Structure 1
């Protein structure tokens, strides 16, 4: 078994579903943003403010290249699939699940989140444009698309477990 990557736009539920998968399977879970923040000893907004988004995207690539845990669940950052290199690294080292949520659901979850630099710097329209721009990349990166609208965390996690067991 390789890594299980959860990709999708910010607020689609990657971290929450990753935690639920961990609870149901006991497979180690890592939130890429939290690992990077811990390594840098800065919050994600501080990394963006001090170094900029391109630097942060490079940290994501370094994570994918060098993270030592081979058998684990990884909730990726919302922009990780923007880079072709990251898509290739994820697809080669694990199973990639795109958590597909409607923008309306995502907006409801992220609109007031002060820990998301891109949300704080963007209007709803700009975020929806970014969502539409990134969605093809998530689809390109993924082995499986998981529809999340109207489903509980457990239903989503059980579907992912089913796919993992089916294709091991």
Structure 2
């Protein structure tokens, strides 16, 4: 069984959706940022103090390691798509789902604490969306809009996953 890999903007709902998916499928849930913090015994903000390039290198190592797992739900950090090697690793055994949430909805309720690229100026979310939006679309296997209830979004992803794995829903 392939992994379910969630990509998308910070604040799009990857972690919350991923946890529900994992529960419904009885798969392990892994948040890449949590994994990085645990492995490095530092917060993402602390790691970012060494620069974004340093963080992206650490993130790539984590993605490479996590991509080897089987039948897990992986919630990636919003910038995972910035390094193509991450996408190649994630696609080896994963179905990549882009959680696309309208940018205005993200801006209205995003918690910028713990998000180094947004903490100084939450308006950076628009810049990030312009930069990353095309990459999310380019690298995903399927795009799911986060504009309805979480249950509907999860059911939509489960249907896509079942079709990909030739399962009955």
* Superposition TM-score tier, normalisation by shorter sequence: over 0.9
Number of equivalenced pairs: 164
Distance 1:43 1:137 in 2: 26
- Alignment check: 8 A CA contact 1:7 1:138 kept: yes
Confirm or deny that 1:121 pairs with 2:120.
Answer: yes
Query: Which runs of structure 2 are paired with 1:16-95 in the superposition (5 Å)?
Result: 16-49=16-49, 51-67=50-66, 68-95=68-95
- Alignment check: 8 A CA contact 2:112 2:122 kept: no
Q: Secondary structure at the match of 1:136?
A: helix
| Farther off after superposition, 68-77 or 158-167 | 68-77
When the two structures are superposed, what TM-score results if normalisation uses the length of structure 1? 0.92
Match of 2:151 in 1: 154
1:117-151: CA deviations, max 9, x gaps? 11112351x320221110111011100000112x1
Distance 2:109 2:44 in 1: 18
Return 5+ residue gaps in structure 2 as ranges: none
- Alignment check: 8 A CA contact 1:61 1:86 kept: yes
Q: Secondary structure at the match of 1:114?
A: coil
When the two structures are superposed, what TM-score results if normalisation uses the length of structure 2? 0.92
Return 5+ residue gaps in structure 1 as ranges: none
